[in-house]
Amino acid sequence: MTPPPTPSPAPASGSSPGTLPAHYGVALAVVALGLACLALVPVWSGALWLCLVVSLLGLFLVIQTALLRLEFQDEALVVWRQSTLLRRFPYSAWKSWRLFWPGLPVVFYFREEQSPHLLPLLFDAKALRQQLDRHLSHLPAPDA
Confidence bin at 88 (pLDDT 50/70/90) = very high
pTM, rounded to two decimals: 0.82
Confidence bin at 2 (pLDDT 50/70/90) = very low
Reduced to 3 states (helix: H, G, I; strand: E, B; else coil), residue 88 is strand
- Identify any residues that bridge with 90 across adjacent strands, giving them in sequence order: 76
Overall average pLDDT of the 122-143 stretch: 89
Q: Please state, in angstroms and rounded to a whole number, the distance separating the CA atoms of residues 86 and 69.
A: 10
> Does the structure show a pLDDT above 60 at 41?
yes
